[in-house]
Amino acid sequence: MEELDGEPAVTVIPGVNSKKNQMCFDWGPGEMLVCETSFSKKEKSEMVPSCPFIYIIRKDVDVYSQILRKLFNESHGIFLGLQRIDEELTGKSRKSQLVRVSKNYRSVIRACMEEMHQVAIAAKDPASGRQFSSQVSILSAMELIWNLCEILFIEVAPAGHLLLHLLDWVRLHVCEVDSLSADVLGSENPSNHDSFWNLPGNTQTLTELELKWQHWHEECERYLQDSTFATNPHLESLLKIMLGDEAALLEQKELLSNWYHFLVTRLLYSNPTVKPIDLHYYAQSSLDLFLGGESSPEPLDNILLAAFEFDIHQVIKECSIALSNWWFVAHLTDLLDHCKLLQSHNLYFGSNMREFLLLEYASGLFAHPSLWQLGVDYFDYCPKLGRVSLELHIERIPLNTEQKALKVLRICEQRQMTEQVRSICKILAMKAVRNNRLGSALSWSIRAKDAAFATLVSDRFLRDYCERGCFSDLDLIDNLGPAMMLSDRLTFLGKYREFHRMYGEKRFADAASLLLSLMTSGIAPRSFWMTLLTDALPLLEQKQVIFSAEQTYELMQCLEDLTSRRPVRGESDIQQLQDEDIETTKVEMLRLALARNLARAIIREGSLEGS
Amino acid sequence: MREAVLTWCVPLELLCSHPLPVSAFLKTQVKLYTYRACAGKDEMGKMVSVINTVDTSHEDMIHDAQMDYYGTRLATCSSDRSVKIFDVRNGGQILIADLRGHEGPVWQVAWAHPMYGNILASCSYDRKVIIWREENGTWEKSHEHAGHDSSVNSVCWAPHDYGLILACGSSDGAISLLTYTGEGQWEVKKINNAHTIGCNAVSWAPAVVPGSLIDQPSGQKPNYIKRFASGGCDNLIKLWKEEEDGQWKEEQKLEAHSDWVRDVAWAPSIGLPTSTIASCSQDGRVFIWTCDDASGNTWSPKLLHKFNDVVWHVSWSITANILAVSGGDNKVTLWKESVDGQWVCISDVNKGQGSVSASVTEGQQNEQ
């Protein structure tokens, strides 16, 4: 049967009385909903006073922190740069690039830390001041861990350099180390450390260094044996320290702020050319010695230990537990993956872990009204599930403004997410129709390639025209272009407007042909034919003959078609009778006009043929 | 006992209890676990906190609360017979509508896809399903469906690709499907005796175009195969499929529960050929059903967990990576599957044994 690692942690929702009621839960796109309820479906409630509150819960609250935002924004740029590093690069140049990326990330963390520190100091009330301070210490811990990972995993400092780096590392994070150095430097020992570490020039090999150090170490030992400094206990303890005597070091515990400070100091004096693989022995014992059985290791200690043991996965796992958001593990894992470290551990899911963490981080970003844009890029670099995750998330972004909608659409179009484009355009078209912005609705339905909706909107346009006698959004309709073909009704709308334009430009013959073709081709909806025929009236009444005889016959056909199909009305009220009257009058007028036109057309055509 | 690896895990657990100081619960970490039948476990933990408390002023028990598509509006329904809608943007809570029309406790509400406008469905003990719509800024009753002989327990909107279709499950054992045909008209199809004694839950399968996923020429509607799942008092989960003639046929029976099925939830699609359904029951069990082949024929259940009390409700997060389970033991547990079964290999207990355990088979490595 399944075993659990321990009790899952618990979040308490205040005000929900668990003794009496159950908890109802639902997912929002970004948040979660929780409320008190009773699931057993009885008609009468049990008269238990119920809680009318609904709690909206969010994970990833850090996304909303103003200062952390800078961290997210700037690291996003570094992330992208890292993804684009040429895969062809190998060896030293690649490594130096990766180290540079790591340093960039760290400087961003430090900048954030600085800012938060300023805010903490300036905070008006002590509670928020404390909160900010704790955030600062969390960021500091993050930088500490990252720095160590950089030294061990990315820089892969070899013996010799390793200790230098570790010295820098400790120095950066622990101010007190300086005082200890001063002590040591002030000793009477001729070989001070500065000349020892003449490495920048790299003039000494590791063996030379080891030899030198051995010699110096023996010299110190001799002094101790000879009790040269027996009279001065202070100097003698210093000597012991320089020989790496742990007990002596521990006596100065107050000067050593933590065990890794102790570790590095110890290494400095007992084994400065320590090899990376030997680090963990010293690390574990340093931790044990320093804590002295008085306290147990904290999460940070475990993380650092795991790093010293080169157990990358453990580092990531422990960081995930200890930290409150995915930022750190996602970016660090990604960088380590680029160093080809996750695969080298030969664990099946190395690359998947990177993606797993990036997906979690990016999903969290989508909960934020503007940071979601960063999330898009992260999804782009998740080859397995990035695309589908993006599809699911991007549809849920509220499209409050046209600008935002266009932004979202552009992102979808760039990635050929046609389904999402269609869906979003449909939503916007529907919104526009409800707000009576027909032009906007039409352009959205065209963009969505939604024929049905385009038909609906075109119908509205035509209805509007019938009621008001003019078109709205002429610009749009005039410039439909090939989009006109999307739906028959839309084509009709476009062509009908073209008819009006031609008429306005006095291109009567063209207008007439177009008008006729609209009916004969079947594009025009039957309900509109009367309007079209009425439009033909002025053309029929012109001095010159516009419609040819044949065209006139066709018009007559259309009219008869239309009138014969009209449903027989039963008992009608006065309004309907009046409408009928108007209809009948119109038809009579048309018949007359058509007949007259026919006569004139026949005469004209007959004459022309003759001459 | 199954030897096969259970790739599911126990992440968060939300416990409701008497009030504690705010700072205490804000700092409580929520942990994610993964676990396996044989080897060790793993943890990932993230912070969770309450960001808004909406006072619905319902006078009686709340039965359902649903966020709309964008998370900007909240709909709630209650035994006080009302359905309420709130605007919850930016941590606020503005009552937009207090909808009356039901004559009994309202059990569920469901938001339709925004491309059809602002539409909400509700179902009630009064045997009715009401569809509410926002027109010109005000919410009104748009349609009422009274085709059931007993309490309607569950409503679920179909994927928007199918059109505007609502499935309703009732205690009279029938499932009705309402399809909007335009001009305020709804067409009704009824599946009688879908479940003996009663139907408790309905859930639609995500829209997946069968066969190739190549883009259909625009204007042509792809041939979707419409499917949904229902759970009932006959302890069964049934899968329904729409035939070419428009009739609904029972496609599958999923049997594993020993008591009434209280809820079913079909997971959103993440582009893989696997389909996943979660079901929970009066018997305290939650099963995860998966079907690997595209034809949808062989479903295999995995027991997620056996709880000590009735499990009432299961729901998937929008990217289907977390399953929420609401139980009678007054807790909500959130479950998360690892990226692939292997992630659980790393553990505190077996530290040092970093190799992949042999008991993890190829089949378990499928990602959900």
Give domain status of residue B66, yes or no.
Answer: no
Please name the member of A13, A30, A54 whose beta carbon is closest to the beta carbon of B16: A13
Q: Considering only residues B24 and A39, tell me which one the structure prediction assigns the higher pLDDT.
A: A39
* Residue among A3, A18, A61 minimizing CB distance to B35: A3
CA closest to A425 among chain B residues: B115
pLDDT tens column, A396-455: 898 888 899 999 999 999 999 988 998 899 899 988 888 888 888 998 988 888 888 889
Higher-confidence position of B332 and A587: A587
- The answer to whether B303 contacts chain A (CB < 8 Å) is no
* Tokens at A413, concatenated: 């179009």
* pLDDT reported for residue A79: 96
* pLDDT bucket at B296, cuts 50 / 70 / 90: low
User: Could you write out the three-class secondary structure of A166-211?
Assistant: HHHHHHHHCCCHHHHHHHHHCCCCCCCHHHHCCHHHCCCCHHHHHH
Does the residue B82 lie in any domain? no
Q: Which of B12, B55, B351 is closest, CB to CB, to A52?
A: B55
More confident call, A44 vs A555: A555
Which chain B residue is nearest to residue A392, measuring alpha carbons?
B319
Is B25 in the A-facing interface, judged by CB distances under 8 Å? Answer: yes
pLDDT computed for residue A18 by the predictor: 54
- What was the pLDDT predicted at A356? 83
Q: Is the pLDDT of residue B203 over 90?
A: yes
Q: Is residue B115 less than 8 Å (CB to CB) from chain A?
A: yes
Give the 3-state DSSP-derived string for A507-542, with helices as H, strands as E and coil as C.
CHHHHHHHHHHHHHCCCCCHHHHHHHHHHHHHHHCC
Least confident range from A390-399, A587-596, B29-38, B127-136: namely B29-38
Q: Could you tell me which chain B residue has the CA closest to the CA of A420?
A: B161
Taking residues B147-158, report their average pLDDT: 95
Distance in Å from the first CA to the final CA of chain A: 106
Q: Place B220 in a pLDDT band, splitting at 50, 70 and 90.
A: low
Please name every residue paired with A12 in a beta bridge, in sequence order, or none if there are none: B15
Mean pLDDT of chain B: 74
Cα-based angle B279, B285, B290 (whole degrees, multiple of 5): 40
B137 interface with A at CB cutoff 8 Å:
no
What is the residue extent of each domain of chain A? 22-58, 69-156+327-397, 158-178+209-310, 398-505, 521-564+575-610
Q: Model confidence at A147, in pLDDT bands (50, 70, 90)? A: very high
Among residues A106, A31, A594, A75, which one has the least CA distance to residue A367? A31
Cβ within 8 Å, pair B318-A34: no
Optimal mutation site among B30, B33, B49, B62, interface A, most CBs of chain A within 10 A = B62
pLDDT, tens digit, 9 for 90 and up, residues B164-173: 999 999 999 9
Nearest CA in chain A to B17: A18
Q: What is the pLDDT of residue A349?
A: 39
Find the residue in A nearest to B345 (Cα).
A347
pLDDT of residue A461: 87
Q: What is the CATH number of the domain that holds B338?
A: 2.130.10.10
Q: How far apart are CA A263 and CA A293, in angstroms?
A: 17
Rounded to whole angstroms, the Cα distance separating A167 from A250 reads: 18
Beta-sheet strand order (sheet of B106-111) = B106-111, B119-124, B129-135, B138-145
Q: Can you tell me which residue has the tokens 């600062």?
A: A136
Contacts of B15 in chain A (CB under 8 A): 10-13, 18
In this structure, what token pair is assigned to residue A405? 């909608």
Q: What is the pLDDT of residue B295?
A: 65
CB-based contacts of A378-385 (< 8 A; 24+ apart in sequence): A378/A76, A378/A79, A378/A330, A380/A415, A381/A79, A381/A83, A382/A355, A382/A358, A383/A355, A384/A352, A384/A355, A384/B367, A385/A355, A385/A359, A385/B270, A385/B271, A385/B367
Nearest CB among B70, B105, B339 relative to A356 is that of: B339
CA distance to partner chain B, nearest, from residue A27 (Å): 6
* Nearest-Cα residue of chain A relative to residue B80: A45
Q: Is the pLDDT of residue B60 over 70?
A: yes
Task: Determine, yes or no, domain membership for B44.
Answer: no
| Cβ within 8 Å, pair B346-A313 | yes
Percent of chain A's residues with pLDDT above 90: 18
B positions 51-90 inside 8 Å of A (CB): 51-67, 69-72, 74, 76, 79, 88
Distinct helix (H) and strand (E) counts, chain A: 28, 4
Q: Among A9-18, A119-128, B96-105, which range has the highest average pLDDT?
A: B96-105
Q: Which amino acid is at A558?
A: C
More confident residue, A106 or A177: A106
Say if the Cβ atoms of A31 and B22 lie within 8 Å. no
Q: A571: how many CB neighbours lie within 10 A of its CB?
A: 5
Question: Across the A/B interface, how many CB contacts are shorter than 8 Å?
Answer: 313
How close, in Å, is residue A491 to chain B by CA atoms? 15
Question: Please, are residues B278 and B264 in contact by the beta-carbon 8 Å criterion?
Answer: yes
* Angstroms from A329 CA to nearest CA on chain B: 11
Contact: B219, A3; criterion CB under 8 Å: no
The answer to whether B356 contacts A347, with C-beta atoms less than 8 Å apart, is yes
CB-nearest to B70 from A384, A385, A396 is A396
pLDDT above 50 (res B327): yes
Query: Is residue B282 within 8 angstroms of chain A, CB to CB?
Result: no
**pLDDT tens digits, one per residue of B72-112:** 899 999 999 999 999 988 878 899 999 999 999 999 999 99
Tell me whether residue B49 is exposed, middle or buried, using C-beta atoms within 10 angstroms of its C-beta: 0 to 12, 13 to 18, 19 or more.
Answer: middle
Q: How confident is the model at residue B365 (pLDDT cuts 50, 70, 90)?
A: very low
What confidence tens digit (pLDDT) does each residue in A76-93 have? Answer: 999 999 999 877 777 888
What φ, ψ does residue B278 adopt, rounded to 5°?
-105, 140
Average pLDDT, chain A: 80
Mean pLDDT of A8-30: 62
The pair of structure tokens assigned to A426 is 């449909």
Which residues on chain B are in Cβ contact (under 8 Å) with A423? 113, 115, 160
CB A362 within 8 A of CB A375: yes
pLDDT confidence band for B143 (50 / 70 / 90): very high
Indicate yes or no: CB of B14 within 8 angstroms of CB of A11: yes
Phi and psi torsions of A328, nearest 5° = -60, -55
B318 neighbourhood in chain A, CB within 8 Å: 27, 29, 392-393, 396
B150–chain A Cβ distance below 8 A for any pair:
no
The verdict on B222 touching A (C-beta cutoff 8 Å) is no
Q: Say which residue, A291 or A189, is predicted with more confidence.
A: A291
Looking up tokens 């990972």 gives: A149
Q: Which chain B residue's Cα is nearest to A319? A: B44
Q: Which of A94-103, A469-478, B222-231 has the lowest mean pLDDT?
A: A469-478
Calpha distance A58→A60 (Å, rounded): 6
Choose the closest CB to B107 out of A15, A23, A41: A41
Give residue A486's pLDDT band: very low, low, confident or very high (50, 70, 90): confident
The answer to whether position B144 is within a domain reads yes
Residue from B3, B18, B115, B218 to probe the interface with A (highest A Cβ count within 10 Å) = B115
Task: Nearest by CB to A430, from B79, B117, B313: name it.
Answer: B117
Which pLDDT belongs to residue A204? 57
Amino acid at A384: K
Please name which of A420, A368, A371 lies closest in space to residue A394, comparing C-alpha atoms: A420
What's residue B193's pLDDT? 92
Q: Which residue of B has its CA nearest to A26?
A: B66
Paired tokens of B120? 């909400």
Residue B213 has pLDDT above 50, yes or no: no
Mutation target for B interface from A3, A4, A11: give the one with most B CBs within 10 A: A11
Q: Is residue B143 part of a domain?
A: yes
Q: How confident is the model at residue A237 (pLDDT cuts 50, 70, 90)?
A: confident
Tell whether B214 is within 8 A of chain A (Cβ): no
The 10s digit of each residue's pLDDT in A503-539 is 889 888 899 899 888 888 888 888 888 888 888 888 8
Helices (H) and strands (E) in chain B, counts: 1, 26
CB contact under 8 A, B340 and A313: no
- A434 to B20: CB separation less than 8 angstroms, yes or no: no
Pairing of strands B62-67, B42-55: unpaired
Measured between CB atoms, does B10 come within 8 Å of chain A? yes
Beta-carbon separation of A11 and B348 below 8 A = no
Total domains in the fold of chain B = 1
Contact B18 A17 (CB under 8 A): yes
User: Which of the two residues, B301 and A176, has the higher pLDDT score?
Assistant: B301
B224 at the A interface (CB within 8 A)?
A: no
ipTM: 0.73
Residue B287: pLDDT over 60: yes
Phi, psi at A336, each rounded to 5°: -65, -30
Residue B268: pLDDT over 50: yes
The reply to whether residue B62 touches residue A388, judged by beta carbons under 8 angstroms, is no
Say what the pLDDT of residue A5 is: 42
Tell me, what's the pLDDT at A73?
Answer: 94
Predicted pLDDT of residue B360 = 25
pLDDT over 70 (residue B216): no
Bridge partners (DSSP) of residue A25 are: A34
In A, which residues are within 8 Å of B354 by CB distance? 313, 345, 347
Check residue A462 and give its pLDDT.
87
| Residue pair B75/B68 in contact by the 8 Å Cβ criterion | yes
Tell me whether residues A388 and B271 touch, CB distance under 8 A.
yes
Name the β-bridge partners of B300: B290
Q: Average pLDDT, stretch B217-239?
A: 82
Q: For A226-238, what is the mean pLDDT?
A: 72
Q: Give residue A344's pLDDT band: very low, low, confident or very high (50, 70, 90).
A: very low
Residue B312 with chain A: CB contacts under 8 Å:
22, 39
Q: Mean pLDDT across the stretch A167-172?
A: 86
Place of tokens 């469906």: B145
Please tell me the predicted confidence (pLDDT) of residue A184. Answer: 46
For residue range A312-342, list pLDDT tens digits in order: 988 988 888 788 778 999 999 999 999 888 7
User: What is the residue range of B246's domain?
Assistant: 107-210+224-348
Mutate to test the interface with A, among B50, B266, B280 (most CBs of A within 10 A): B50
> Where does the pLDDT of residue B239 fall: very low under 50, low under 70, confident under 90, or very high at 90 and above?
very high
Q: What are phi and psi of B197, to 5 degrees?
A: 75, -45
Residue B350 — very low, low, confident or very high, per pLDDT cuts 50/70/90? very low
Per-residue pLDDT at A363 exceeds 50: yes
Model pLDDT, residue A19 = 56
